[in-house]
Copies of this chain bind each other. A is one copy, B any other.
Amino acid sequence: MSVFALEGIPEVAAGDDLAGLIAIAAEIADIAVAAGVAAGTLLRHGDILAVTSKIVSKAEGRLRAAADREQAITDETVRVVATRAYPGGVTRIVENRQGLVMAAAGVDASNTPDGFVLLLPVDPDASARALCTALRARTGLRLGVVITDTAGRPWREGQTDIAIGAAGVAVLDDLRGTTDAHGRRLDVTAPAVGDEIAGAADLVKGKASGNPVAVIRGLGRLVLPLPAVDPVAAGSGVVDRGAAILLRPSENDMFRLGSAEAEALGYDRGYAAGLAAGLTAAEADLP
């Protein structure tokens, strides 16, 4: 597997043709770096493009005045998971409209023009599908697209990049039912390869370098036919479920609520029950 940043993507603005910018960057890179590759592009069959959500959001016009950053977070919040005060503010970890559990609902104030914040794409899987379809049509190559964002996680320090949108890529490599080298069934094993791809891409894109797109080569086994642009695939029964399948529904989540929040909720319920029991017991003692 090789992973490399695609250089030459310019600053992206609302309404830009992102597929065109990526395809052109791949063509320029071709001339500069890999002259002689067929089709005039650095890209090849089976390549996966990991695209930072930030440039997708910018192309889709998701920039908003920063004056309402807190309001923007509130607007993007479907469910509050946990909050913690810090000097000068409150960290809010919430489930957002995209179904992602993230600090600040994924509302971003880094690498944006002064005075603006950036919201996530409205539907990252739809954004990935549009991008993948356009790139496949333009290059004639079977490509995959993963849209990435940076997220913290419980139990471990630091952040990793994860797949928030995907098209033409199997992001969950479901091994359940297959066997290990000893013939034992791998019953609970389903590597979240979409997140591992996003993380690998982050290692070459880098937070500060400003390269928002990386190419992952060598994982063609994960690249799916895309019925919309692949007539042969239309009847194949392959269903591209996007990155949404990586979202665990909150009702199945053992960590759907922060520990302090869950304890406070329990305390309130317990207090009400205890109070009622205390009053009843005291009354029962009355003559």
Contact = CB atoms under 8 A, between A and B. Distances in A.
A74 B269 CA distance: 31
Contact of A159 (B181, B190, B204, B256): B190
Contacts of A178: 208
A139 to B, nearest CB: 23
Given A180-B111, A266-B262, A275-B278, A186 B207 contact: yes
B189 A110 contact: yes
A6 to B, nearest CB: 13
Identical copies of this chain, number: 2
Contacts of A114: 182, 184
A279 to B, nearest CB: 4
A113 interface: yes
Interface in A247-284: 247-248, 253-283
Contact of A204 (B1, B210, B275, B286): B1
Contact of A278 (B82, B186, B219, B278): B278
A133 to B, nearest CB: 25
Interface string A138-180: 0000000000001001111111111000000000110100111
A272 B274 CA distance: 6
Contacts of A156: 162, 192, 195, 246-248
B248 A155 contact: yes
B159 A189 contact: yes
Question: Which of A153, A173, A255, A261 has the most chain B CB atoms closer than 10 A to its own CB?
Answer: A255
A253 B155 contact: yes
A199 interface: yes
A154 B153 contact: yes
A70 to B, nearest CB: 16
Given A154-B153, A200-B196, A271-B270, A111 B248 contact: no
B179 A208 contact: yes
A247 to B, nearest CB: 7
Given A157-B190, A256-B259, A260-B262, 5 more contacts: A110-B184, A110-B189, A114-B182, A114-B184, A254-B260
Interface of A: 1-4, 82, 84, 93, 100-101, 109-114, 150, 153-162, 172-173, 175, 178-182, 184, 186, 189-193, 195-197, 199-200, 202-204, 207-208, 210, 218-219, 245-248, 253-283, 286
